[in-house]
Structure 1
């Protein structure tokens, strides 16, 4: 179905990921090699004094590259913003955005949970009042190679990316990065992300669990994962998504029935009838809406209101038209909070800012002269993604069995990976309920609804789109505080 494939077409084929124990067979040579390659340099050389146009801050920042494959020349770019206070006492949180092929710096760091926001037209930065670095040290990773400033010297790598290699390279990154930053070894560590990071986050967590089991002295102290509006299970996600469209009056009864009767959501192959029904819904019934936030203005409408250009649509907003078909991707919405409302055309701000030579120099980025501009999302990776696991539910079971804290949340105005899809998928875990469905509160208002199960907590965030911390920053921050504390969301 349309929003579930690499180009928003059919769900991708099932891929069975190899376990890290096998990868480490023969004495752990893979990790040793990664540490030897990526461990070069020291933290002090990665220290970032200040970004151009950045307001003064007291916390430390670091940015740079960690090599993850010497033979191919793959290196991943990171940006660490330490906690605003008592950094040495606070946990480390790795944030991953999805796509596949979208930048955690463009979205997570610059629109959602990071300490800075980008001013109009990329002229500078301003502070995010609800940055998650108030509670944790934040590590943003552009992954896999080919995303943002991350690169490979082997061009074919950009056309052969997939779930398995992404998780494996991310583990190699962490092992090497913690050699460069030994103060974070054994520190409480969490992985968070959204959208297609619904694959990245649990897959990396699984790699770490297996790595720790195979290591005589494990040092990655993984405590839990936090996944928002995440791609979870192709079959259940698809049914839940079409149901959301119908229950939110986005499609007609006739189209709903046509999709449900003609689409086989267990197969990666899309029938002619299914494709016709999906195309009709997206091209004729949705209208010009932002599918990542169905109640806020689309880019063209907002552009007229804020005197902005519509160039973001050419840069690949929420829906593109290619050969007469609508194309969705699991990226993060381009809508960003402004003092006078939402501006859904802000992808160009990030692309202008991070393509500035002075910004790249300050961030220690693009040191090898990447032969293409920095972009928020890589269309090459999105179109050529190789392997994608059909379901994350078995991995969730494994992580819960390992004793990890598992939280899943959903903004309730996203129609791409909607709350109905996530709830439908999670319901098939068959978990025992500990705390029944209840409204949770933030600033004396209902922040959303939650249910706590044995081993997993689910929460919706009221009035939030695909990028929950963007649309509801205060509610998202309150949720993050409860997650770190391991406490249910407040009932009053």
Structure 2
């Protein structure tokens, strides 16, 4: 992104006009189909981030349910199975948003632990090709990568704040999970340099939070194998074979490494939900009211929720209510876009985010990293291994934190970074532990350590 273009954007966001009020009203969601009555405002629509290619990002803002003018703005980004998954399908609909979707996709019900009790939540479908975000240039789906995503997320924010000037200078935070372990700190770095260059903190970035995030290619892979072995998912023989034949650094593994990984993850894993190893797999029945767990039909925990999102967000009345541009979307709404993952430009994907963490810690941003401890894809062992190589000074030693009268997880506070685990949570922490996730958010926003007792 050229400095001249940034100057133009700076002028755009610095000017206020009646057009912003008109654009906001055009984006206002009057009511979603099947939605219960709520007292907060919602907006959704598009922001063009590249005129020549016709690239536009889709957002959904759910303002705070109490005192929205006094609450910070929190941007949520998803990654999940690598680049290309929807923040609306996952973050908004399964995790931190105010609504949940029923099994038939016919209606919504309230999430008792929605994060919009604490902040105004901005969900962004990024990069283009994800969810309702689109491009008029089909080749864009085959040359996307970290650099362009971070730049266009910054452009989105600058233009979006021109449309919503009430959020200019508001305390602003970013949060996300999985491959957002790249998206979140990379965007934070872009914002930091943007504000530093123009000496005008319109985007008043205070900090960010990453959950079960891709952090360092080497330590993530090594930490994952360690987790598999320590949780009895693979044999000693496979564990030792992987350590012997896999370097965890090269993009191309040896044949011996490939076979060792294949045997461990396909033969020894069995049919297990790697994102939450103690949760059942989704095996929907014809009426979608029950699912299989160990050969027994149960109803306690539903692992099929993303399929409900694909039903709901493909409804024409839902797309009209959310102002989805039906004429410009060349494919139906899906929770993930596999084309993006397949063709992602891994050449500009940072091997390690640790240098970025160091830079942003030095800049004084509030940084929290958390891990659901039942995730085997980007597990707690991987994140701890990465953090250990930052060589940080411990401020508050490891201790259990509490949610109600139960241990919610464990935490350690360092100079410049807080790390926390969430007990009993998987890759998507708020799915299985919504109350603990909300306590995590409250403590993060308040800049306070997690509660030591109940």
What's the TM-score, normalizing by structure 1?
0.86
Contact 1:232 1:422 in 2 (8 A): yes
Query: Quick one: structure 1 residues 136 and 478, their matched pair in 2 at CA, closer, same or farther if it must change by over 3 Å?
Result: same
**1:282 Cα deviation after fit:** 1.2
**1:367 Cα deviation after fit:** 3.9
- Which runs of structure 2 are paired with 1:44-443 in the superposition (5 Å)? 44-98=25-79, 99-300=82-283, 303=285, 340-386=299-345, 387-443=348-404
Contact 1:234 1:391 in 2 (8 A): yes
Contact 1:93 1:190 in 2 (8 A): yes
d(CA) in 1 for partners of 2:385, 2:238: 21
* 1:42 alignment counterpart: 23
* 2:416 alignment counterpart: 455
Which sections of structure 2, spanning at least 5 residues, go unmatched? 293-297
Query: Quick one: structure 1 residues 416 and 66, their matched pair in 2 at CA, closer, same or farther if it must change by over 3 Å?
Result: same
d(CA) in 2 for partners of 1:230, 1:353: 28
Indicate the SS of the match to 1:200.
Answer: helix
**1:366 Cα deviation after fit:** 2.5
* 1:31 alignment counterpart: 9
Indicate the SS of the match to 1:173.
Answer: helix
**1:44 Cα deviation after fit:** 1.2
Query: Quick one: structure 1 residues 110 and 418, their matched pair in 2 at CA, closer, same or farther if it must change by over 3 Å?
Result: same
Contact 1:212 1:218 in 2 (8 A): yes
Indicate the SS of the match to 1:205.
Answer: helix
Task: State the Cα RMSD in Å.
Answer: 1.9
What's the TM-score, normalizing by structure 2?
0.93
Q: Size of the alignment, in residue pairs? A: 439
**1:305 Cα deviation after fit:** 11
**1:31 Cα deviation after fit:** 3.2
**1:266 Cα deviation after fit:** 1.4
* 1:324 alignment counterpart: none
Query: Quick one: structure 1 residues 214 and 114, their matched pair in 2 at CA, closer, same or farther if it must change by over 3 Å?
Result: same
* 2:295 alignment counterpart: none
Indicate the SS of the match to 2:104.
Answer: helix
d(CA) in 1 for partners of 2:200, 2:254: 51
Indicate the SS of the match to 1:478.
Answer: helix
1:256-298, Cα deviation, whole Å (9 max, x unpaired): 0111111111111111111111111111000111000001111
* 2:429 alignment counterpart: 468
Query: Quick one: structure 1 residues 375 and 304, their matched pair in 2 at CA, closer, same or farther if it must change by over 3 Å?
Result: closer
1:132-174, Cα deviation, whole Å (9 max, x unpaired): 0000000000000000000000100011110010000000000
